[in-house]
A and B are shown apart, each in its own frame.
Chain A
Amino acid sequence: MDHATLVFASVFPVPSLSHTTPTPVATPDLGYTGTGASFGSPHVANNAGTQQRAVRRSLAWSTATRFLSLPRDLNKAPIGTQRPPDVEDALSYLLVGEGTSQDGEEGIADWYANEARLHFANHVRQGLLESWDKDIELSNAWHVLEDTQQVLQQVQDLYSQPFHDHLLPFVQEAAANITIRASTSSDNLEAETVKAAKRKFEMEIHAVFAHSLPANRFSKTLSYMLYDAACKLFRVQVRHDGIVQGETEPIDTKKVRRRMTLLLIGLKGVGLGQDEAQRALAYAMNKLLDTYISSHYLKVDWYSKQSVTAQLRVWIESGFIPLAELVLECLECDPASIPPLQRKQWQEMALARLGRARVEDLFDFVTNWDRSSGAILDLKDYLRLDGAKEYLKGNFSRQVSRRLLHPGATTTYILNVYIFIIRAFHKLEPKGVLLQSVARPIRKYLKEREDTARIIISSLLIDPNDGNSVKTASAGELSFEVASEMAKPFAHAEDADDEASWNDMSWQPPPYDASPEYRKSKVEDVIFFLLTLWDRDDFINELKNIFGDHLLKCQDPEFRKEIRLLELIKIRLGEDKLQACEVMLRDVLESRRINETIRRASDQTQDQPSQTPEILDPKTPRPRRAATSTPLVKPPPGPALSAHILSSFFWPILRDETFRVPAQIESLQRDYDTRFERIKGMRKLRWMNALGESRITLEFDDRTEDFEHLTPWQVSVIYAFQSQPGEEWAGKGKGKAKSEGITRSAEQLEEMLEMDDSLVHQALAFWVGKSVLLEVSPDAYTVIERLDSSTKDSDAAAAAQELAEVQAAQSTTVKSQADLLNERKDVYMSFIIGMLTNQGNLPVMRILMMMRMMVQGGFPFGAEEVKALLTEMEGTGKVVPLGGDVWGIRK
C-alpha cells in the first residue's frame, strides 16, 4: 500500500482499505485449468501457482486480520494470547511462508500498524483531545500531562501486545530461516530484524501519538511542567503576573523530582520525548535561568557588599547543569551529558544575563554607592564577556540622559551623582576608559549649566567636618560630596609615566576600546575630574570671582580654610595660574596688619580708642579699592573703622555703587587715607562703600538695639533719619539716633545720599522689616521710636523683612555676569559695529572669537550672549541677520 493511498484514505475512508473488515471468505479462485491439465488437479501448473498463491494469501490474510482486528471498545477483552490453529497457519504463511509480501504487497505488520492507527484515530484520539483542545491551565499542566501519558501508555500496551504475541514470533522465525539460508550463523541478525520490526511498529505508533496532540500546546505545557518542577526543586519563588504565589505547603523536593522523572520517562515511553520535548526543555531551562537570576538567590548583596557571581557559577555547575542532564537522561537523549565547552557557554550565558539585569538598574546602584558595591562587583565580572562593555555603555548612557540630565535635576544633584559615577566606575574599571565614555555627556551637560562652577567652588570652600558651616550653607547650593572629596588627602601621582616602565610587571595594555588619546588617569581623584570640567583658565576666572566674594564675607580672621583651599587647588592646577588668588588672600591678610598699624598710630596721636580698621592695600599704581567700612553710629565710644585693602588689578570686578556714607565715617575714611598714604608711600585708596559690613547700635526712646552684619547702605539710610548737621530738626544729641518727626521719602534719601534708588528701597525694606522704620504714608518713612505704638503693623514688617531677605540674597559682592554684560553692553555693541563695519559680515562664532581676543579684560561670555546683543542691535536697526548665523551692518 503506497503512501499516497494511505494519505487519501486518511481523509476519505475507503472501504477496501478499512482493514477492520477482514477479507470475506469467498470461494477460492483456483484459477484456470491449463490445456491438457486435468481440471481441478491439485498439481497446479506453474502459471496457476501465482494465482493460487494469491488465493491462499487472501485467505490467510482474511484469517489473520480478522484475528488481529482490534476491539472497537477499549474495555472489551483484548486479543487473546492464544492463537487458534488457523490463525497460526495464516500468520505463518503470511510472515514466514510463501505469503510474505512481495512486490509492494501489503505486509501483515504494516496492516497491523495501520489498524492500530485507525483504531487510535477512531476511538482514542477523541477522548484524549478533550483535555488538549482548550488552553491548559498552568496549575493543571502536571495532571494533563500525566493523564495523557497514562492513556497513551495504556493504548500503546494494547496495540503492542498482539504485535508482540502474534507477529513477532513469526518475524523471528522468518529471520531465522533467512539466517539459515544465508548460512550466516549469527543470532545477531535475527535479533536485529526483530528489533527493527518492533522499532518500526513503535515508531509508527509514536508518530500517531505525537501527531494527535497539538504540538505547540503540548510543548508549552511540558515546558511549563519542567520549569515548575525546576522552580520547586531549587525553591525559587515564581511570580505569575507579578503576584508571588504563596507557598501553601513546603515542597518536598524529592517527591517533585520523582514525579518529574517518572513523568518524563513515561512520556519518553509513549514517544513524546522527541524533539518537541527537547525544545520544551530548552525553553524551560531558559526561563529557569532568568527566574533564578531575578530570584532572591542572586539579589544584590547590600550587606556584605560581595559579588554574587560566584554563587551563580556554583549553581550552574551543581544545580542547573545536573538538572538538565537528569532531564536529558530521562528523555534518553544523546548525548545525555553536557560537554565542557557547553558548560562554559552556559556559565557565560548566565553571567551575561545577570550582568544585563544589573545594568538595567545601574543608575540606582550608582546613586546608592557604596552600599551597592556588590552589584558593581557583579558587573565587573560581567564586563569580561564579549559585548558587555558596549551594552553597559549604551544602556547606562540612556539611563543617565533620561534620569539625570534633565532640567528637573538640580546641579548639586547632578554633581553628586557624577561623583558617585566616578567612584563606582573606578571600581568597575580602574583603567577609566568606561568612565570616560559614560561621563562625557554628563560633563558636557554640567558645563552648560551656569551654576556648576559656582557650586563646585563654594562646595570646595565648606568644611564638611565643621558643623557650623554646614548648617549655615544653604543646602541646595552645596554639594557635600564635593566637600568631602576635597577633605580627602590628595594622592599625588608620583610616577608620571609608568607606561614606559620596564620594571612594571603588572603592566597591561590599555583596553581595546580606549580612544587614541586615552591616557590612563592615575588620579582617581574626584576633584580632578571636576576641576577639569572646564578649560583651566575659565575655571580660574570663576574661582577668582567666588574666592573674592568669599574672602570679603569671611568671618575667620585667620582665613584658615581659604588658605587650605588655595593650597589644595594649587597642587591640582599649578601654582602659576593662581597668582591672582594668592594676591587676594595676601591682601586680606595684610589688611589686618595695616589696620593694626594705623589704629595704633591714631591711638597714639588722637587718643581715640575706636579704630579697628582692616583694609586692603593696593599694590599697583591703579586705584585701589578700599572696601568695608565698619562704622558704629553709637557715639560714646566713637565709631571705628577698619578696611580691607584690595589690589584692584587682581580682584574680580566688584560692586561699586557710590553713595555718601555718614559724615562720621567719611571723616574716618579721610583720616585713614592720610595715615595709609604715610605708611605706604603715595598710594591712594579708593573707598568702595558698597562692600562694607557694619555694626551699629540704635537708641530709641524706649529701647536700644544692636545690629550686626549690616551693609553700609543700610547704615547710611538709617543714619539719614538722624538729624543732619545742617537741618533744624528737633532731636539734637549726637547719641540719640532719631528724633520723632523726621520723615523722609525715598526720593529725598536718594538725593541726600546720592544713592541708587534700588539700594534705598532695599535698605528701607530692611529697616521696616526690623521694625525700626514705619511707612507712615506711601513712600514716606519715619522712625518707630516707641515700639508699643506700632506693633500693630507687624504684618507689614514681616512682609518687608521677607522682601529684604530676598533682596539680600540676590546681592553679592562680586558682580554677576549678567550685571557685567548689561553694564558694558554699549562697549560691546560698538565693538560689534566696528568689527562688522571693517571686517564685513561675520558669523556669530567669529564675532565671539574676536571679542574674546580684542576686548581688554576679556569677554567672559558665550555665543548666546553675542546673539542676544546682535538681536538687540537688530531691534535698533544697526545690524541685520544675513542667514546662517552671519550678521552684517545694516546699510
Chain B
Amino acid sequence: MALSSGARTNGSGGATVAQRLQKELMDIMMKPTPGITAFPDDENMSRWTATIDGPSSTPYENLVFKLSMEFGPTYPYAPPTVLFKTPIYHPNVDFSGRICLDILKDKWSAVYNIGTVLLSLQSLLGEPNNSSPLNGQAADLWDKDMDEFKRLVLARHKTPEELDAADL
C-alpha cells in the first residue's frame, strides 16, 4: 500500500526539496510578478523553466528570455544552477548561457528563492556588472558604443518560437 501513495520520494532529502519547491511554486502563483514566470518541467520538480521579459528602457526591451533552473538535493542551502536558454548578448553571460552573478555563487543564501533569483536576473539585464565580465566585448561595448551593443543583442536574440524550431 505504501508504494501506491502519491508523492514519490527519493529519500527524505528529496522530499523536503520537493515540498519547498512546491511551496515556492504556490507562492509564485499566488502573487505573480509581472514579467517573470517559472514552472517545473515535470513532477519531480528539480528542473524548472523560467521566462523573464527584458526590462524596459534597456537594450533588452521587448525581448523574452528563457532560463533553465536546476535544484540540487541540498537546495535551498545551495544555489540552483541557472542558465540562459535563449541566446543572449550580455556582459555577464557567456555564449553557453552561463551566468556570472554573485548571489548564484558565493553570495547565495537560503532566504533567496526562485522569485528573488529571477528578479535579480531581470535587473542584471539592465545593470550589468562590467567589472567581472564573462563577455569582455559586450562589457566594452556597453560602455562605449550602445548602438552597436543593441545591434548585437538583437542579432543574437532568438524568440522562444525560433528556439523551439531549432530544437526540432
Contacts and interface: CB of A to CB of B under 8 A. Distances in A.
Contacts of A837: 37, 39, 51
A853 B42 CA distance: 9
Interface string A849-868: 00001111000000000000
Contact of B23 (A576, A834, A856): A856
Given A577-B1, A834-B28, A838-B51, 12 more contacts: A827-B26, A827-B30, A830-B28, A830-B29, A831-B29, A831-B39, A833-B37, A834-B39, A839-B41, A854-B40, A854-B45, A855-B26
A98 interface: no
Interface residues of B, number: 25
24 contacts: A574-B1, A827-B29, A827-B30, A831-B29, A834-B28, A834-B29, A834-B39, A835-B39, A837-B37, A837-B39, A838-B38, A838-B39, A838-B49, A838-B50, A838-B66, A839-B41, A853-B43, A854-B25, A854-B39, A854-B40, A856-B22, A856-B23, A856-B25, A856-B26
Contacts of B43: 853-854
Contacts of A838: 37-39, 48-51, 66
Contacts of B40: 854
Interface in A832-884: 833-835, 837-840, 853-856
Nearest to B67: A838
Interface of A: 537, 574, 576-577, 827, 830-831, 833-835, 837-840, 853-856
Contact of A854 (B22, B30, B49, B50): B22
Interface string B29-60: 11010000111110101001111000000000
B143 interface: no
A830 B25 CA distance: 11
A837 B40 CA distance: 11
Contacts of A834: 28-29, 32, 37-39
Contact of A830 (B1, B32, B50, B66): B32
Query: Can you list the 4 inter-chain pairs with the closest CB atoms, starting with the nearest?
Result: A838-B49, A838-B39, A834-B39, A853-B43
A837 B26 CA distance: 16
A576 B5 CA distance: 10
B164 interface: yes
A143 B40 CA distance: 93
Contacts of B6: 537
Contacts of B26: 827, 855-856
A856 B48 CA distance: 17
B39 A839 contact: yes
B97 to A, nearest CB: 16
A873 to B, nearest CB: 14
Contacts of A577: 1
A705 B29 CA distance: 51
Contacts of A833: 32, 37
B1 to A, nearest CB: 6
A576 B1 contact: yes
A827 B31 CA distance: 9
A831 B45 CA distance: 14
Nearest to B7: A853
Nearest to A575: B1
Nearest to A831: B29
Interface string B65-83: 0100000000000000000
Nearest to B29: A830
Contacts of A835: 39
A830 B34 CA distance: 11
Q: Which residue, of A834, A840, A856, has the highest number of chain B Cβ atoms within 10 A?
A: A834
Contacts of B50: 838
A175 B91 CA distance: 134
Q: Which residue, of A576, A577, A840, A854, has the highest number of chain B Cβ atoms within 10 A?
A: A854
B22 to A, nearest CB: 5
Contacts of A853: 43
A837 B41 CA distance: 12
A833 B6 CA distance: 25
Contacts of A831: 29, 39
A827 B30 CA distance: 6
Contacts of A830: 28-30, 32
A515 to B, nearest CB: 22
A6 B45 CA distance: 101
Q: Which residue, of B37, B48, B51, B66, has the highest number of chain A Cβ atoms within 10 A?
A: B37
Contacts of B22: 854, 856
B26 to A, nearest CB: 5
A834 B39 CA distance: 6
A576 B48 CA distance: 33
A855 B45 CA distance: 12
A825 B66 CA distance: 26
B23 to A, nearest CB: 7
A839 B23 CA distance: 19
A566 to B, nearest CB: 18
Interface in B131-168: 160, 164
A827 B28 CA distance: 9
A856 B22 CA distance: 7
A853 B45 CA distance: 10
Contacts of B164: 840
Contact of A839 (B1, B2, B28, B49): B49
Contacts of B160: 840
Contacts of B49: 838-839
A831 B29 CA distance: 6
A574 B30 CA distance: 36
Contacts of A840: 160, 164
B165 to A, nearest CB: 12
Nearest to A836: B39
A837 B37 CA distance: 7
A838 B29 CA distance: 13
B29 to A, nearest CB: 5
Contacts of B48: 838
Interface in B87-141: none
A839 B30 CA distance: 19
Nearest to A833: B37
Contacts of A576: 1-2
A827 B164 CA distance: 27
